[in-house]
């Protein structure tokens, strides 16, 4: 985008950024609602600890499978039919999916189906947000704008227990899902009215939108492959820890529902702080690789210290989770900014979808592995420790093999 922008465009771009931020925020509330409600869902099905680990792990993890598939195969439509249409359809679809879960949630297969559909409808969310950011903001402002819309994730996760738990206490988890669906539907008119696919009105150079050819080019690019390893590691940390965090606080630290809400909230405050810190440091140092490596390895070490030392103090445990989320969430803004700067604007949606899809698709390893180890051993700390090991492995691989350059992937 041209750095010289009209005053009206500069004003509009911040309104658009707010809408994209709210989209990611409400989207995250929708996807994290099951994690917060898992204990209530488990009680409604009369699950044992083992069943909560296995069936709950599948319920949490299956979202990521369809989410990954959607990222890869539906994100190209962002570049073909436009970001506005795709985002509007996405929000409407995931809102209706929550209604489905509320009505038929007493049947486990239907609850699983709702999670699959939720993943399919939300898979395009971050690719479309990245496309809009790349279209509306100059390169000098993209890191800040990217951090802003990505912060909708941890802020949404932060707000989820504060919204869902009180509704569950006073009514039921189904009612909380209805409420979240209303939030999503209410946002759609603003998306339709304010977002434009080509805000500058300038003609853009046509790029080959052959999906298969572009994906093949990216997948056979060595640097992109190493970038994927790093992003998969980041997703494994995020999903493996965040989806089991409420249950860990309740079952291991023996927090009450209200205490769990505030402890979880503090963790996500750490995530937001980490994103802001990483964006600032990367802009100053221009060394994105070091930021990613330090975040991944630090998160892995902190997870292992927390779990293997069997920390019993609630205060220390909550504080360590703050640091785990801080270091773990240093990563996403850097990865998405790399995609904006190393992918041509016409293909940002497709390329981001490929990275986000494979990253989150393989990221299902996190919550499923934790759930499997819990079911096998009955130990939540051992389950989380596995995420620490994977984090260290991913960090070392990225450190050894990723090389920074300004050359475009495609």
Please say if the pLDDT value at position 42 is more than 70. Answer: yes
Task: Classify residue 407: in a domain, yes or no.
Answer: no
Separation CA 195–CA 10 (nearest Å): 13
Report which DSSP code applies to 3.
S
The gap from C-alpha 356 to its chain's centroid, in whole angstroms, comes to 9
Q: How many CA within 13 A on the CB side of residue 133?
A: 33
**Dihedral, 329, 17, 131, 85 alpha carbons, nearest 10:** 120
- Is the pLDDT confidence value at 206 over 70? no
pLDDT for the residue 1: 52
The values of phi and psi at residue 96, to 5°, are: -70, -30
The average pLDDT across 104-118 equals 92
Point out the least confidently predicted range of 176-190, 201-215, 355-369. Answer: 201-215
The tokens for 105 are: 């949630």
Q: In which band, very low, low, confident or very high, does the pLDDT at 345 lie, cut at 50, 70 and 90? A: confident
CA distance 285 to 198: 32
Q: Rounded distance, CA 249 to CA 321, Å? A: 10
**Residues 6 or more apart from 19 whose CB is under 8 A from it?**
187, 190, 191, 194, 195
Q: How far apart are CA 94 and CA 27, in angstroms?
A: 8
pLDDT band of residue 409 (cuts 50, 70, 90) is low
pLDDT digits (tens, 9 = 90+) for 143-171: 788 889 989 988 898 888 889 989 998 98
Per-residue 3-state assignment (H helix, E strand, C coil) for 217-281: HHHCCHHHHHHHHHHHHHHHHHHHHHCCHHHHHHHCCCCCHHHHHHHHHHHHHHHHHHHHHHHHH
Cβ(366)–Cβ(272) below 8 Å? no
The confidence score (pLDDT) of residue 139 equals: 76
Please count the structural domains in the chain. Answer: 1
Residue 380: give its domain's CATH number: 1.20.1250.20
Mean pLDDT of 254-277: 88
Angle between helices 211-219 and 348-363 (to 10 degrees): 60
Q: What is the pLDDT, as a whole number, of residue 57?
A: 81
Q: What is the pLDDT of residues 9-35, one digit of tens each?
A: 677 888 999 999 999 999 999 998 988
Q: Give the contacts of 341 (CB within 8 A, at least 6 positions apart).
A: 139, 142, 406
Tokens of 379: 């130990």
Q: What dihedral do alpha carbons 253, 162, 154, 329 form, nearest 10°? A: -20
The distance in angstroms from the start CA to the end CA of the chain is: 18
Q: Which residue has the tokens 């434009």?
A: 196
- Say if residues 127 and 3 touch (Cβ distance below 8 Å): no
> Predicted confidence band at 406 (pLDDT cuts at 50, 70, 90)?
low
357 assigned to some structural domain: yes
Query: Phi and psi (nearest 5°) for 275?
Result: -65, -45
pLDDT value at position 202?
A: 59
Helices (H), 151-221: 152-170, 173-194, 211-219
Report the mean per-residue pLDDT for the chain: 87
Determine how many CB atoms are found less than 10 A away from the CB of residue 103. 14
Instruction: Give the pair of three-digit tokens for residue 121.
Output: 């409808």
Q: Which domain holds residue 278?
A: 7-196+209-401
Which pLDDT score, from 0 to 100, does residue 282 have? 83
What's the average model confidence in pLDDT over 317-336? Answer: 93
Share of the chain above pLDDT 90, in %: 43
CA dist 230 and 301 (Å) reads 16
Q: Tell me: pLDDT of 3 over 70.
A: no
Residue 191: predicted pLDDT: 95
In a domain, 409, yes or no: no
Higher per-residue pLDDT: 210 or 154: 154
Nearest residue to 55 via CA among 96, 99, 135, 115: 115
Residue with tokens 């409400």: 26
CA distance 382 to 400: 28
Q: Is the pLDDT of residue 242 over 70?
A: yes
201 belongs to a structural domain:
no
Predicted pLDDT at 115: 94
Tell me whether residue 165 is in a domain.
Answer: yes
- For 339, the token pair is 């995609």
State the Cα–Cα distance between residues 140 and 21, nearest whole angstrom: 19
Residue 2 confidence (pLDDT) above 60: no
Q: In this predicted model, what pLDDT tens digit does every residue of 273-317 receive, in sequence order?
A: 999 999 888 878 878 899 999 999 999 999 999 998 888 889 999
The confidence score (pLDDT) of residue 353 equals 86
DSSP 276-321: HHHHHHHHHH--HHHHHHHHHHHHHHHHHHHHHTT---HHHHHHHH
């Amino acid at each position: 985008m041209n750095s010289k922008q009209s005053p009206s465009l500069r004003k509009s771009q911040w309104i658009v950024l707010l809408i994209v931020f709210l989209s990611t925020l409400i989207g995250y509330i929708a996807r994290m609602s099951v994690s917060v409600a898992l204990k209530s869902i488990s009680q409604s099905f009369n699950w044992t600890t083992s069943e909560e680990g296995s069936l709950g792990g599948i319920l949490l993890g299956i979202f990521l499978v369809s989410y990954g598939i959607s990222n890869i195969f539906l994100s190209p439509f962002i570049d073909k039919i436009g970001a506005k249409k795709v985002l509007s359809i996405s929000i409407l679809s995931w809102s209706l999916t929550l209604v489905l879960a509320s009505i038929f949630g007493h049947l486990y297969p239907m609850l699983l189906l709702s999670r699959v559909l939720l993943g399919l409808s939300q898979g395009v969310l971050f690719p479309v947000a990245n496309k809009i950011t790349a279209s509306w903001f100059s390169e000098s402002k993209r890191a800040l704008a990217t951090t802003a819309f990505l912060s909708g994730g941890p802020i949404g996760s932060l707000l989820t227990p504060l919204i869902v738990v009180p509704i569950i206490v006073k009514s039921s988890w189904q009612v909380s899902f209805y409420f979240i669906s209303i939030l999503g539907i209410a946002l759609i008119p603003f998306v339709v009215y304010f977002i434009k696919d080509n805000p500058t009105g300038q003609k853009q150079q046509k790029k080959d939108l052959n999906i298969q050819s572009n994906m093949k080019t990216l997948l056979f690019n060595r640097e992109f492959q190493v970038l994927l390893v790093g992003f998969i590691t980041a997703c494994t940390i995020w999903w493996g820890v965040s989806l089991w965090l409420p249950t860990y606080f309740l079952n291991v630290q023996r927090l009450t529902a209200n205490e769990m809400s505030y402890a979880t909230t503090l963790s996500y405050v750490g995530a937001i702080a980490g994103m802001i810190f990483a964006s600032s440091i990367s802009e100053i140092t221009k060394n994105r690789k070091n930021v990613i490596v330090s975040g991944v390895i630090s998160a892995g070490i902190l997870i292992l210290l927390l779990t293997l030392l069997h920390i019993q103090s609630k205060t220390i445990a909550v504080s360590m989770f703050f640091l785990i989320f801080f270091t773990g969430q240093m990563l996403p803004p850097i990865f998405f900014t790399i995609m904006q700067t190393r992918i041509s604007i016409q293909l940002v949606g497709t390329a981001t979808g490929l990275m986000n899809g494979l990253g989150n698709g393989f990221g299902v390893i996190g919550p499923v592995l934790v759930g499997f180890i819990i079911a096998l051993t009955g130990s939540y700390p051992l389950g989380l420790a596995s995420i620490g090991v994977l984090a260290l492995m991913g960090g070392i691989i990225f450190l050894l093999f990723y090389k920074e350059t300004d050359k475009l992937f495609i």
